[in-house]
Structure 1
């Protein structure tokens, strides 16, 4: 995939089809939709940042780019999207073929504009919302992690603090020496107006008669705002005092009941508080939740312990009484957050479910981060929280208030985006009637966006079959422009523009050209996002059947075979790994929900929906590296045959990283051979996979779970569950000293046989 990785390194884009099918009918036959996975803020070492405003087409508003036709004598440029002729303004008077502005250079298909005049008024805001219905030990771990995170905050950032349990406590950090708290009842729905009234925002003057949006511009004094949101450099003492005195929720919990936890009310208060104080500025609510919500409009279960928390089976049967009401509440909350331009980040740490499945809509539409761990003392939580705020080494580079816009040549429409954004419902000629994900618009809001955020755009080819569609080679170009307007973490407003050109192909000879432009890794990532979306949005959807039928149709169209002869079937190298990706996708946590809770499934899908192609592929088909005395580290097939007694395996399954010792290696390690001088080679062999695992943990967010296990040990399941079961309990193919998998699942060989047999049938 090297050439497609080069395209990604230049523009941050990967497409399943780099040559486009020329008609609606041909695009339908291609099975994998015409789509693109785009990382809007991917860091480029040599990106040009221009200190002036972009030049826009007066008809379609697209931006001057290297694909425009320029008349240097008449000082006119022709837009490649709508063919409108535009005059250059006076400050472009000196342009010529030898004196080009940066945006017309062929290599600058991605460029950034920085408008010096536009500086935002507010620094970034972090509002911590902390659950206190947790045991003392957990609370201690949480307090330690929080104090470390607060120390890492930029000095100019504003900080607020809310705790919740049976009641919601809003801490007034700017009050001075005496700590002061505003308390709200957890079972009540509280509006923004009530918050303004109860928290004395208009104590010394009458409340404005018209509906208050709030913020400084609506008459709210900066003094009243600074009571709740204080610069990090000034509130260290006050915050540490609050943290030190933070106690477990004092209200008694009967032995047969769950704690009264009003998560939804606390998040609603936090949202309204930010809406009152800093509307339209870059702000994040950092929610740290340690158990299920049992009080308020977003509760997911009753307080009675005899009632279990909803499972996938309950959701399928529609027998989860709290689910729909909670999702509806969080949909309303997500609209409020998107209107304000604020982000909801979720850190869920509990052995039980906390309601990630319900919260998903609010976190995803605002572009928030999500981390799921078993407890607040776990390294997954501690390292991930630290990584969010640390400014050196790994940096997420938060940007805020993004607006994402798409322009394309005619004959193509946008069905929608699968990823962390919200539709602004700006309808136009570009919008397809078929909606996938966030659709019915050509403009999206991205409240929170970082350098890793990736969006999946799904297109529809609307060109009908006509004699001209094959046409002369002059009109076979297709253009796409992706614009991201965002607030850089320096406070500056910037606009990044990426303009792409691709070719149409149509007619009898087009199959070979389509094959040559097929990116199987990008196709697998797109199919994973689409199947996850369909599982959530379509009732009675059968994901395995849909994936199998899609794969059969794709192989039938692009495979090389004689009719009804499975042995003659072969695939071009461009397609050869795709069936393998689909085999592992069918078995992945995105499709197989058995043994996962709704919270875990929602978490896996949220991460998939925001990651780039390379990381998505690791989630679908984990990488496996073998270490042994006979050879250096080498990649091996994701198959049970890779297990040997005298080798070590390193599995990177994205969410978990497994170091697996063969039986002999484990026995030697337990005997302590690695500590003896004469066994230095064994010591190095043990160290190598650990070092590689640590390197993976260092560069990834959320931080994966590290599992170190031995063959036949209980935790070996983390590896065996991901392997192709080529040797099972009822097969005779297990190699000497190897392993078998206790499963009735088909192995890849059988899967491929069936695929070949079905693909060659007419």
Structure 2
């Protein structure tokens, strides 16, 4: 390493003292310690200048002449501008750490003469106060087609501006991970390892990747010098301050890994939070530290999230060269290390040395050598491998869709049969069938089973009726499940006639259990989907149910029994389906009690989903449109078939419990007959042994068959740093992931115990988190405190927990029907975080006074209004407001709204002419109508999932039940049973002050 000349002495930067403070002169040879905004009263020895020719000491946060310490050449700095704040040092050219509220004067120039970019303080992730709005269109214009916005990439960062090239930093040989070709500018050069693996690791060294860097990280962890706790998070006061709901869209706290943790400099090397996120972005080194923090440790995984226009597709490795660890079976990923000149790689989970496959550096298509550093599995945390034959127990199954449709009198009268048949007919071209292998079949059911022979050699279907329901059998072996491409004509003929075939029926009974058993016999040899469209309550055994709705039990301790399955048939049937790779999806459209709690068992254990449409009537266009849209999107969604999912973690970490729709086949293996799009799974973790490495990794592998007949493995890898600091744990906590986990645990507690127990457990968890933060990380360690404090990144956790307590799935109320509560619980355990947060904390917009550019087409699509806090203080008699939670949209209309707004939005002249309730806004030529309709359209299309929210018009003095339903979404206000947000904070403060943590 080249010698660095001693720095020139420059004035030490000190913040301005208080006007009333008169410090005493410092002793000779001492300097003051820099504490921004606080008078200097403590004196520490002044460091002596290094002798000529000595290497200048470097600490994290210093800018040496060779560049930023620990920076990966070619990589942008972390989010937030200048990446490293200086520690409390008086060395020339070093910036002292500053309070987020302290604005220093001009800094002295560094000794190298280079300018330093001063980082401005921030109030939250991704939100800059007093930011000027973009210069969008200011005149109203018709809405243009929407361009979907890709989710924010939390790994991208603003580029540093250089005024002169920076020389390459010289690392010790044992810490170098790669060599670089251009030593002139570490920000502009391209990462090109000269020799794979050279300098990364000495063969025979103990398997502790980047051990020296981990030691350095641990040394500075307690000093809060890694840039996380100082520059990214700070303590905020909750009481007396209105929550900033715009921060709900902020990205999670940044993941700050040690330098050179990844073998490439790809910005996609770590997993995007939309696929996998952790409740803690810094993992505690010991179980004692985790227990002390009271913070939950869990993964939230959405392996098959939908990919919209503008999203990066998942890269696919097609050469079937799959490198896996021989011991723990981890797939090669960006966080392994190469040794012995690149001939071997060390697993980042168990640290075993593995041989690099012979074809790893060879392109089979071009039959020529290839650059290993461009391989997708070394540059992307989310990647798919095309599986070779050894990953197949049998040839890939074709997509199989067997429809079980209720044709009893209630289903026919409400228009369910006709609507379902027409939707299936219009969706035949959208079913996944690129390889012409998709199979389709139909069973209709009332008090008998009706099978349909769909022979490709005929043009008309043949109905076969089976009345024996106790020992169900298939009336013929062939042509009940046919190839869609070959029998397309006869399938269309059946669907065209199905809506009228049972129009004169008077049968009210239903034998769903027998129909499910028959459908299982029909598809079990292939596997596939059983899609149930059900209207009435099953009344015939097996699986016969009774109306057990008890209004007297609602809101009492007996209510939890109504949320549990009433018949073990459905759970047993679901387990049998899981073994045969059969998934069950339920579409429940009953006008009466449907027992969602019992029927949802089938989707829960087979990886399916439950959809509920209470009081459905196809005569209302809104009902027919919602069901047809969601049913069509469901049929067109790509799915993964006959799948299993396994989660692996670094040594010392194990999985303890799983939440979601699946069946646990082994302790760490989840059976998923279908991997549905945008389904979320939560997995709790525990620390068994002390973690000694600077980073840990979590890898999720989903082995599945695509709906296009290809066996693949989707791999998601997430790397997180390890810490011994409690403050870093709190600064890295992800409030969205924590809320997702708490929602899953609350639902599970409700189903196994009582609703009251789940609410109490949720409240106690929030109190524990706040209490530990107060006792360990605030000046008021013990005793009563008038304030409630938490780290900035967790400031909305109390608000989200209040939203969960007031949610229809958990709220204490005697007015919530059992079916609605059971369906809400199904959504709470399957929704991805993006949908779940809005479901718990609805969006609230003011429409009557929105700026002119809102609702028009901007650079990123339709410009949305600024969300408001969910409090009735925002409601004015002359205003029009919109509230949406992803399932329903409400438009609140005040009594004193300007008559011109009635004309522009509803095409009526007076308030009395507005029709409240479920409605559809007219498409008018006025600017206001076009902008509001554009906002509603963007709301329905922007989020992931198949859901199409209903629209309700709520008049200020309209239907009382509709008004109460609307006001139940205004969660910052007090309700009959749950306190307001201000009262909730006061209650939490009192419990925290009274507890011992």
Whether contact under 8 Å (2:641, 2:705) holds in the other structure is yes
Residue 565 of structure 1 aligns to a residue whose secondary structure is coil
Could you tell me how far 1:497 is from its partner in structure 2?
Answer: 1.0
Residue 786 of structure 2 aligns to a residue whose secondary structure is strand
1:30 correspondence with 2:256: no
Name the CA shift for 1:575/1:561 in 2 (closer, same or farther; >3 Å): farther
Name the CA shift for 1:232/1:444 in 2 (closer, same or farther; >3 Å): farther
Residue 371 of structure 1 aligns to a residue whose secondary structure is strand
1:301 correspondence with 2:546: yes
Could you tell me how far 1:189 is from its partner in structure 2?
Answer: 5.0
Could you tell me how far 1:236 is from its partner in structure 2?
Answer: 3.1
Whether contact under 8 Å (1:406, 1:443) holds in the other structure is yes
Residue 599 of structure 1 aligns to a residue whose secondary structure is helix
1:491 correspondence with 2:709: yes
Instruction: Tell me the TM-score normalised to structure 2 length.
Output: 0.62
Could you tell me how far 1:310 is from its partner in structure 2?
Answer: 8.6
Map residues 163-242 of structure 1 onto 2, 5 A cutoff: 163-174=444-455, 176=458, 179-185=461-467, 188=470, 190=472, 195=473, 199-201=475-477, 223=478, 226=481, 231=486, 233-240=488-495, 242=497
Residue 785 of structure 2 aligns to a residue whose secondary structure is strand
Residue of structure 2 in register with 1:337 after alignment = 577
Aligned length: 676
Could you tell me how far 1:8 is from its partner in structure 2?
Answer: 6.1
Residue of structure 1 in register with 2:784 after alignment = 565
1:743 correspondence with 2:969: no
Residue of structure 1 in register with 2:655 after alignment = 414
Residue of structure 1 in register with 2:276 after alignment = 13
Structure 2, unaligned stretches of length 5 or more? 1-124, 127-153, 155-250, 255-269, 364-368, 855-864, 910-922
Q: Give the stretch that moved more between structures: 98-107 or 544-553.
A: 98-107
Residue of structure 1 in register with 2:931 after alignment = 688
Q: Give the stretch that moved more between structures: 593-602 or 407-416.
A: 593-602
C-alpha distance after superposition, 1:422-460 (max 9, x if no partner): 1112xxxxxxxxxxxxxxx21111112233122111111
Could you tell me how far 1:682 is from its partner in structure 2?
Answer: 12
1:271 correspondence with 2:501: no
Name the CA shift for 1:110/1:251 in 2 (closer, same or farther; >3 Å): same
Separation (CA, whole Å) in 2 of partners of 1:145 and 1:558: 54
Aligned equivalent of 2:895, options 636, 658, 663: 663
Q: Give the stretch that moved more between structures: 664-673 or 139-148.
A: 664-673
Whether contact under 8 Å (2:453, 2:480) holds in the other structure is no
Could you tell me how far 1:681 is from its partner in structure 2?
Answer: 13
C-alpha distance after superposition, 1:443-481 (max 9, x if no partner): 1111122331221111112236xxxx6x5xxx2321111
Aligned equivalent of 2:695, options 470, 477, 499: 477
Whether contact under 8 Å (1:159, 1:230) holds in the other structure is no
Whether contact under 8 Å (2:877, 2:894) holds in the other structure is yes
Could you tell me how far 1:641 is from its partner in structure 2?
Answer: 0.8
Residue of structure 2 in register with 1:708 after alignment = 953
Residue of structure 2 in register with 1:131 after alignment = 406
C-alpha distance after superposition, 1:474-523 (max 9, x if no partner): x23211111011112222111111122112222xxx12211221111111
Could you tell me how far 1:396 is from its partner in structure 2?
Answer: 2.6
Aligned equivalent of 2:315, options 48, 51, 57: 48
Whether contact under 8 Å (1:189, 1:297) holds in the other structure is no
Separation (CA, whole Å) in 2 of partners of 1:515 and 1:324: 39
Separation (CA, whole Å) in 2 of partners of 1:33 and 1:336: 34
Structure with more of its chain in helix, by fraction: 1
Residue 574 of structure 1 aligns to a residue whose secondary structure is helix
C-alpha distance after superposition, 1:159-187 (max 9, x if no partner): 21111111122222228367533333475
Structure with more of its chain in strand, by fraction: 1
Name the CA shift for 1:558/1:345 in 2 (closer, same or farther; >3 Å): same
Name the CA shift for 1:575/1:37 in 2 (closer, same or farther; >3 Å): same
Separation (CA, whole Å) in 2 of partners of 1:299 and 1:712: 44
Separation (CA, whole Å) in 1 of partners of 2:833 and 2:549: 37
Separation (CA, whole Å) in 2 of partners of 1:578 and 1:243: 51
Separation (CA, whole Å) in 2 of partners of 1:308 and 1:516: 46
Could you tell me how far 1:534 is from its partner in structure 2?
Answer: 1.0
Name the CA shift for 1:398/1:183 in 2 (closer, same or farther; >3 Å): same
Aligned equivalent of 2:835, options 606, 615, 622: 615
Whether contact under 8 Å (2:604, 2:662) holds in the other structure is yes
Name the CA shift for 1:329/1:630 in 2 (closer, same or farther; >3 Å): closer
Residue of structure 2 in register with 1:538 after alignment = 753
1:291 correspondence with 2:506: no
Name the CA shift for 1:597/1:50 in 2 (closer, same or farther; >3 Å): same
Map residues 664-679 of structure 1 onto 2, 5 A cutoff: 664-665=896-897
Aligned equivalent of 1:519, options 713, 734, 742: 734
Residue of structure 2 in register with 1:719 after alignment = 966
Could you tell me how far 1:148 is from its partner in structure 2?
Answer: 3.0
Aligned equivalent of 1:109, options 375, 381, 384: 381
Could you tell me how far 1:669 is from its partner in structure 2?
Answer: 5.3
Residue 351 of structure 1 aligns to a residue whose secondary structure is coil
Map residues 307-318 of structure 1 onto 2, 5 A cutoff: 313=554, 317=558
Could you tell me how far 1:106 is from its partner in structure 2?
Answer: 5.1
Whether contact under 8 Å (2:271, 2:382) holds in the other structure is no
Whether contact under 8 Å (2:529, 2:582) holds in the other structure is yes
C-alpha distance after superposition, 1:306-337 (max 9, x if no partner): x85798659954997997552x1011111121
1:652 correspondence with 2:884: yes
Could you tell me how far 1:703 is from its partner in structure 2?
Answer: 1.8
Residue of structure 1 in register with 2:874 after alignment = 642
1:754 correspondence with 2:980: no
Separation (CA, whole Å) in 2 of partners of 1:127 and 1:94: 44
Whether contact under 8 Å (1:384, 1:701) holds in the other structure is no
Whether contact under 8 Å (1:164, 1:263) holds in the other structure is yes
Whether contact under 8 Å (1:640, 1:724) holds in the other structure is no
C-alpha distance after superposition, 1:268-313 (max 9, x if no partner): 21122212xxx244x21111111211111222217xxxx8579865
Residue of structure 1 in register with 2:684 after alignment = 458
Name the CA shift for 1:451/1:102 in 2 (closer, same or farther; >3 Å): farther
Name the CA shift for 1:19/1:488 in 2 (closer, same or farther; >3 Å): same
Residue of structure 2 in register with 1:578 after alignment = 797
Residue 664 of structure 1 aligns to a residue whose secondary structure is coil
Structure 1, unaligned stretches of length 5 or more? 202-222, 253-258, 426-440, 729-741
Residue of structure 2 in register with 1:66 after alignment = 334
Separation (CA, whole Å) in 1 of partners of 2:377 and 2:461: 59
Could you tell me how far 1:234 is from its partner in structure 2?
Answer: 3.5
Q: Give the stretch that moved more between structures: 99-108 or 681-690.
A: 681-690
Aligned equivalent of 2:669, options 405, 419, 443: 443
Whether contact under 8 Å (1:291, 1:352) holds in the other structure is yes
Separation (CA, whole Å) in 1 of partners of 2:596 and 2:346: 49
Name the CA shift for 1:265/1:628 in 2 (closer, same or farther; >3 Å): same
Instruction: Tell me the TM-score normalised to structure 1 length.
Output: 0.81
1:159 correspondence with 2:440: yes
After superposition, the CA RMSD in angstroms is 3.5
Could you tell me how far 1:232 is from its partner in structure 2?
Answer: 5.5
Name the CA shift for 1:239/1:26 in 2 (closer, same or farther; >3 Å): same
Name the CA shift for 1:454/1:98 in 2 (closer, same or farther; >3 Å): same
Separation (CA, whole Å) in 2 of partners of 1:634 and 1:108: 34
1:353 correspondence with 2:593: yes
Could you tell me how far 1:24 is from its partner in structure 2?
Answer: 2.0
Q: Give the stretch that moved more between structures: 74-83 or 104-113.
A: 104-113
C-alpha distance after superposition, 1:103-158 (max 9, x if no partner): 57653122111147679555322111111123486354531442232232246432
Whether contact under 8 Å (2:605, 2:661) holds in the other structure is yes
Residue 701 of structure 1 aligns to a residue whose secondary structure is coil
